[in-house]
Chains A and B, each alone.
Chain A
Amino acid sequence: MRSFLCAVIAAALIAVCSAGAASPAMGPDQPDVDRLLQHLDDLYRSKSSVARIQIDVTSTRSTRSMRLRAWTRGEEEVLVLIEAPPREAGTATLRVGNNLWNYLPKIARTIRVPPAAMLGSWMGTDFSNDDLVKESSRRKDFVARVDRRSDTPPGWWLVLDVKSGVVGRWARIEVLVSDERLPVEERHYDRKGRLARTMHFDDVKVLGGRRLPAHIALVPADAAGQRTEMRYLDVQFDVPLSDDTFSLSRLERTRR
């Protein structure tokens, strides 16, 4: 479900831990890989957050855009409200632990999504279940090394090889990290070593007190003309949220 998808995107990218302030720039010296990875892992994480996000999905058939507002707390609680397009505005999704509900304003109903359907494919976007529900930590699951220097844009290419015994989709990830210690590009290779997809990060700006790429694009390798893009319009990290934010009654009362 798309709304669920949004919920989980938000959940994945806006979760536990706090991050530091703007990080010191890197020079042409080889970076400390371990600390770099930690930094990348924590980039979008927080104890709680409120964000406005734009999502654009391009396929050979059409392009569609959604604007949503997402509240998160910890890793377990997410509330997503669709603000645009008008046809879908008011649709909301609530996730608490393993339970997922959709609120549909057009028919004024709340429906619980059965567990098997939660695994369902991300119809319309290219994000997969793994990206979102399961928190994967680059630092914990991969062995990283610096591969080579990049000049345009200036930065370092890191190669992350998955540790043996780790259950995950990617055998290898290549990350281009700018001298500002921000991701620029990520290439994901599947377990057969084939390039499965590429993620592009740009439009770096200050969001919620952090300097982050606000625009993320995901491009699958073997689906021509298809891409999914996420753009943070504004974010607040570690915001206090009232207890009833993540409740069914709130779900149904959610307004723009």
Chain B
Amino acid sequence: MASPCEVLLDGTDEALVRELGALAAGEAWRIEGKYSRYRDDSVIGRIHRCADQEMELDPETAALIDFAAQCHEISEGLFDITSGVLRRAWKFDGSDRLPTPAAVQALLPCVGFQKLTWRSPRLTRPAGMELDLGGIGKEYAVDRVHDLLAARTSLPLLVNFGGDLRADRARPQGAWQIGIERPDTERKAALVLELQRGALATSGDARRFLLKDGVRYGHILDPRTGWPVVGAPRSVTVAASSCTEAGQLSTLAMLQGAGARQFLEAQEVRYWIVD
């Protein structure tokens, strides 16, 4: 998941908590392994070896692609799991090396969910296109791990994968205290939120950005242009009942760029923006 992942369980039975922790870790690794871009044996690896050919996907993957399709439609093309190829032009290492417009332009023909042939569970991927579930995988894993543990125990639990988190119920002594870090000073939390139950997801450019001539280029790219969204806040945190929903709302907000705050106001969700 490329971030520290933890599960907090408030209980006194050590054996049970260890067992639940192992279950959580197992599920997280399963999802990561299945959808990792870096592994040949992952489902994504299999999809990428199979160009211009119809392939049948397993129910879990089909459900994820269905979700990505709906998000693509809801966002009118802003959210796109095929935009991963743009990473070849963009390296968000904190430097000032922007790609050339030509390099970005060359990749655009391979971007666009509508170019896939998708009729669940059958997918045809044109050669050159890539699928990247990084935008939904982590939040999905949080929800899956949460549901797995919540079905097995009534202990208060909090699943936190690198800032995308979900709590089942508050502890007897009070709500979970969540610190939202400020993007440029990693230690001191900018805000402390109290969460009884529900999910929080954060989108931000805290660690992945380019800085040139005083202009900050966040890693959230507009798939229609191939360039980073302009004027996006440094980080957006959204609260919702599932991490998947919260993650999508925070990503869509960031994709609005300067219009993030207005977008979130219109959704009537609880949100926190760090500019």
A binds B: no
